[in-house]
Amino acid sequence: MANKRPKPEEIVSKLRQVEALMGQAAKIQIRIAVLNRYTALGIPITEPVG
């Protein structure tokens, strides 16, 4: 039996799901960077002491 090809609507639906998940992953990465006190460039944020 041959494999059924997905309908265009199903493909679009899956792509939208992937896009949404990628957006969520990016938000989580930003939160982790902030919690770890790193900037977008990966340079630690330093604060003057005393």
d(CA 42, CA 26): 15
Name the pTM for this structure.
Answer: 0.54
Reading the block at residue 3, the tokens are 């494999």
* pLDDT tens sequence across 1-50: 567 898 999 999 999 999 999 989 888 888 887 777 766 556 666 677 76
Identify the three-state secondary structure at position 44: strand
